[in-house]
Structure 1
Amino acid sequence: MSTVPKRDTYDVIVIGAGPAGLAAAATAAGAGLSTLMLDENAGPGGQVWRGIASTPIKNEAVLGADYWSGAEIAKAAQGSGAEIIHRATVWSLDRNLELGVSIGGGSAFIKARRVIIATGALERPFPIPGWTLPGVMTAGAAQTMLKSSGLVPDGRTVIAGQGPLLWLLAAQILRLGGRIDRVLDTTPRGNYFAALPHAFAFMTSPYFAKGLSMMREVKARVPVVKGVIELSASGDGQLASVSYVAGGKRETLATDLLLLHQGVVPNVNLAMAAGVEHRWDELQLCWSPVLDANGASSVEGIAIAGDGAGIGGAQAAVWRGRIAARAAVAALAPDAVAKLPSLASLHGELKRAERGRLFLDTLFQPAKPFRIPSGDTIVCRCEEITAQDVRDSVAIGATGPNQLKAYRRTGMGPCQGRLCGLTVTELMAEARGKTPQEIGYYRLRAPVKPIMLSELAALPKNDDAVKAVVRG
């Protein structure tokens, strides 16, 4: 495993070491292409298989078979001949397939003949009153702590939201002896009827039995409230209580920890900054890149694999990674592609892995009040901009997210729009009577991750480097 890139140029650079990135790197390197995989975490696995090589949890039943399946794929990538660098922050990517990356306090530019973006997903923003209070976290953050350090909550804990990850996290916390006082299910009742036409495919998929088992496991030990239509957190500088409305009744619970989750969405910042075309997905209610069947984007040489290409889950991500890497091998080393599985077989495996996904996407489409808040609910955490601030800005002339920057600085903080971008797009679309596609998204530029000025100062001092920074 490297600490600095050994070359200036690679056949393939894979960004991200989650399921898609590991599979892509193993495939490309295994076919003889010079392959570099860059990842900002301390070890392989991404979020789904976080800590796969280092987790202190050794009881395989706690994290489940799906988690441990990542060990074999991580081992394959590490043994493939791919150069792997962890704690590497990729902060720029341009149409010339040149990447800006920071490693160990210094930055460098590296070129590739093909780039596979496998940066995965982000948790969808869940803007409710009080969501910025200390004591309120996302389910993903809690799961990161669980996988990497074996930490689980021991105080009064409420989990609120919807989606497979919510139930998986609850089960894992309980298996490790953690405390959960209540689960507040925000799945809209109408979604159950909308999802019915897709139920058969779901029931014949791997998701069905696993999901049903996890829900039964949690419900046997924790009170579950369904049909939650309002949710807020309160406290004086620290979370003290959670209030919710379900079945026409409001209840307030004294709470030390609130874990929020309403699904995941593609992490699009790097791809958007590189100029990749995106569209608004009306089912998943997020931005997704426009790709061909093999993951190729609108920018020549850039492919996207895994959940960054559209939410499909870990197993689908693996097959997408292999498909994108096979396409790179076919383009760069046609003689080597005969040794790889056929495209037909790979696409067949992907189709099986995605079976039942339409049911999940329909059932767990988040309710409007939890996506498009009102009043003084904070939308942009970095600049403390409220939903009403956004609506007021539209009233005086802001036409889209980029114009809103001039009015309120939304999207200009450390998160660079990751925690407010979708909310801002939908808020402005509603206020202007337009579609999210018409409203658009933030115009993203390098650096797409916060980096130190000292890291930029460490770049090679030559004309090409200066031009690259100016061009970014």
Structure 2
Amino acid sequence: MTHDLVVIGAGPAGMAAAIAGAELGLNVAVLEEQRLPGGQIYRNIEKVGPELSTILGPDYVRGRDLAGAFVASSCEKFLGATVWDVAPDLTVTALHRGRSLQIKSAQLIVATGAMERASPFPGWTLPGVLNAGAAQIALKSGGSVPSGRIVLIGGGPLLLLVACQLLSAGATITGIVETSPRGNVIGAVPFLPGALLAPKMLLKGLGMMRCIRQAGIPWYSAASDLLIEGTDRVNAVSFKEGSRGRRLEADTVLLHHGVVPNTQISRLLRVDHDWNSRQQAWHPRRDESCQTSLSGLRVAGDGGGIAGAVAAELEGRLAAIGAAHALGRLSASQRDQRVYPLRRALRAQHRIRPFLDMLYRPPGWITAPAGETIVCRCEEVTAGEIAQTTQLGSLGPNQTKFFSRCGMGPCQGRICGLPVTGIMARELGRSPADIGAYHIRAPLKPIPLASMALLEPFHTPHMQVTQQTAE
């Protein structure tokens, strides 16, 4: 027996898809790697108290109703389940409670969201250097705040949000070093009219900048030549602001250069992908119902293109409606009636995105690092080594992997994939779209060999308790 619909991920897109699918009468199963629903954006939303909710803000708190509706829905929930393989026939294999199980579905929605872009520059691998999103996860999970002097480096709305949240939580921020090139403003101007149609989002960004300014945090613009200093751990950040050298002492450095779609599963399934030059990332090619080039596979939310939590929720519902129509549970007219208001709302969410993409486009020394900068942390491969293999005739990232082992560590290329493509594109004078990306193979995540030996094929739905959590 198979499920009508399997959803991978219980963030805003996954929860919305599961709820909508169940409401449409589909037999739905959801697999989520965390022990609680919410994804990264709404992490720990069911457990957070009033004080921390105030610190995290209304955009975070709005996820509580969605998570509550998801928990109350009739779909089967496998929480603490790590998906490590997906077959072209849409059979999903996951590690759950120490054993691997398989679930087959007629329709599959991948809602694995986004991941932070790697920020490779000298010193980024030192202890005490984190992604800004990691600091936010610690705050959401247990109210933890880095001690000592914090310096934030990068650009983008999330960097501003994390800075404001940390300030509200009592953190000591000694500087924000923005790396967005000055030319980004000129590139963003043509998209300003569209952004002005989303005044609430613009005002939200201005409000965060006002919060930082009122706190008296030093702000450095268009920084270059960055170096994180330290031996056993970080102790300072040096950089240039224009022609002037700067140095900030730091106990913790938080990096952020935007988020990019997590395409590991769609890459594994070899669906068509396109290069988004504005977002400097790959995304799976989809239609308006989030359907990819593989029949029955839909990608909803930021995993299909960065647009934020509200857009992800809308896409999750659109994907579920598309799945129900594909299964014959909705006629074309019933489908169209349901999707019209969702698509209109989704267009409204997308209005500001081109402006933000251009305004916070990462600098070239991040997307294509050079010299002795480590690109692959797992195998300690430098940007210079990637450039050298390219000059010796590597035809793409996969051949570079054979020569250098870059991308063969535990992260399996999730972190280094985009920088490797960027370096090769620079060296060859070509577009990243021409260079391509790593081929992804199972297992998607490191798993115990014993769990593969104990594989339980084709889980039969509703034979276990409705909500299962990892012990």
Q: TM-score, normalised by structure 1?
A: 0.94
Match of 1:220 among 199, 214, 220: 214
In 1, Cα distance between equivalents of 2:336 and 2:432: 40
Matches within 5 A, 1:358-373: 358-373=354-369
2:462 matched residue in structure 1: none
Shift of 1:230: 2.3
The match for 1:3 is: none
Partner of 2:426: 430
Amino acid at match of 2:313: V
Q: 2:164 aligns with which of 152, 163, 171?
A: 171
- 5+ residue gaps, structure 1, are 1-7, 463-472
The residue aligned with 2:441 is 445
Q: Contact 2:103–2:457 at 8 Å: present in 1 too? A: no
Q: Once the two structures are aligned, what percentage of the paired residues are identical? A: 43
Q: Give the aligned partner of residue 61 of structure 1.
A: 54
Q: For residue 210 of structure 1, what is the aligned residue in structure 2?
A: 204
**1:395 aligned to 2:395?**
no
The equivalent position to 1:28 in structure 2, one of 21, 30, 46, is 21
> Which digits, 9 at most, give the CA deviation of each residue in 1:192-222, with x for residues without a partner?
1111122132233131111100111012111
1:32, distance to aligned residue in structure 2 (A): 1.0
Distance 1:356 1:339, change over 3 A: closer
Quote the residue 2:44 is aligned against: 51
Contact 2:83–2:94 under 8 Å retained in 1: yes
Distance 1:309 1:335 in 2: 24
Where 1:125 maps in the other structure, the secondary structure is coil
Contact map agreement 1:312 1:357 (CA 8 A) in 2: yes
Deviation at 1:274, TM superposition (A): 1.3
Aligned partner of 2:320 in structure 1 is 325
- Equivalent residues of 1:401, 1:441 under 8 A apart: yes
- Rounded to whole Å, the distance in 1 between the matches of 2:83 and 2:233 is 35
Superposed, which structure 2 residues align to 1:276-287 within 5 Å?
Answer: 276-287=271-282
Inter-partner Cα distance in structure 1 for 2:390 and 2:336: 53
Instruction: Give the number of the structure with larger relative contact order, counting CA–CA contacts within 8 Å between residues 6 or more apart.
Output: 2
User: Equivalents in 2 of 1:405, 1:41: separation in Å?
Assistant: 30
Distance change (3 Å), C-alpha of 1:245 and 1:97 = same
Instruction: Give the letter aligned to residue 204 of structure 2.
Output: K
The code of the aligned residue for 1:261 comes to H
Per-residue Cα deviation, 1:131-151 (whole angstroms, up to 9, x for no partner): 000010000100000011101
Please give the alpha-carbon distance, in whole angstroms, between the structure 2 residues aligned to 1:396 and 1:370: 23
How far has the Cα of 1:305 moved from its partner?
A: 0.3
Change (3 A) 1:300 1:67: same
Q: Distance in 2 between matches of 1:106 and 1:59?
A: 35
Q: Which residue number corresponds to residue 459 of structure 1?
A: 455
Number of the residue aligned with 1:352:
348
Partners of 2:300 and 2:335 in 1: CA distance: 21
Could you tell me how far 1:234 is from its partner in structure 2?
A: 1.4
How far did 1:186 drift?
A: 1.0
SS at match of 2:108: strand
- Aligned to 1:292, what secondary structure does the other structure show? coil
TM-aligned CA deviation for residue 335 of structure 1: 4.5
Contact 1:183–1:225 at 8 Å: present in 2 too?
yes
> CA 1:81 to 1:336, structure 2 compared with 1: closer, same or farther past 3 Å?
farther
Instruction: Check the 8 A contact 2:325/2:335 in 1, yes or no.
Output: no
Equivalent residue number for residue 382 of structure 1: 378
Q: Which amino acid aligns with 2:278?
A: L
1:311–1:335 distance in 2 versus 1, CA, 3 Å: closer
Distance 1:79 1:366 in 2: 41
Which of 223, 229, 242 is the matching residue for 1:247?
242
- 1:262 is matched with 257
* Aligned counterpart, 1:71: 64
Over residues 243-281 of structure 1, what are the superposed CA-to-partner deviations in whole Å (9 max), with x where a residue is unaligned? Answer: 111021111222110000010000001111012111111
Which residue of the other structure, out of 409, 414, 421, is the alignment partner of 1:418?
A: 414
One-letter code aligned to 2:57: G
Post-superposition offset of 1:341:
5.5
Q: Distance in 1 between matches of 2:112 and 2:303?
A: 6
Other-structure match for 1:38: 31
**Structure 1 residue matching 2:173: 3-state secondary structure:** coil
The alignment partner of 2:420 has SS state of helix
How far apart in 2 are the matches of 1:440 and 1:159?
Answer: 31
Q: Which amino acid aligns with 2:310?
A: Q
Q: Deviations over 1:125-169 (max 9, x none)?
A: 110101000010000100000011101122011001000000000
Q: Give the secondary-structure state (helix, strand or coil) at the position aligned to 1:327.
A: helix
Please name the residue that 2:466 is paired with.
none
3-state DSSP of counterpart to 1:244: strand
Q: Quick check: 1:49–1:67 contact (8 Å CA) kept in 2? A: yes
Shift of 1:461: 8.5
CA contact (8 A) 1:241 1:254 kept: yes
Which letter does structure 2 place at the counterpart of 1:113?
A
Match for residue 4 of structure 1? none
Number of aligned pairs? Answer: 455
Distance apart, 1:58 and its partner CA? 3.4
Instruction: Report the 3-state secondary structure (helix = DSSP H, G, I; strand = E; otherwise coil) of the residue aligned with 2:234.
Output: coil
Distance 1:444 1:289 in 2: 14
- Following the alignment from structure 1 to structure 2, what is the Cα–Cα distance between the partners of residues 415 and 233? 23
- Kept after mapping to 1: 8 A contact 2:322/2:335: no
Task: State which of 95, 99, 111 in structure 2 corresponds to 1:106.
Answer: 99
8 Å Cα contact 2:374-2:381 kept in structure 1: yes
Q: Identify the match of residue 95 of structure 1 among 85, 88, 92.
A: 88
SS in 2 for 1:51: coil
- CA–CA distance in structure 1, aligned partners of residues 336 and 75 of structure 2: 17
1:15 maps to what in 2?
A: 8
2:201 alignment partner AA: Y
Question: Match for 2:211: what amino acid?
Answer: E
Do the aligned partners of 2:321 and 2:335 also contact (CA within 8 Å) in 1? no
Q: Which residue of 1 aligns with 2:174?
A: 181
Name the Cα RMSD after superposition.
1.6
Q: Distance in 1 between matches of 2:336 and 2:19?
A: 12
Q: Decide whether aligned partners of structure 1 residues 38 and 460 sit closer, same or farther in structure 2, where only a CA change above 3 A counts.
A: closer
Tell me, which stretches of 5 or more residues in structure 2 are unaligned?
459-471
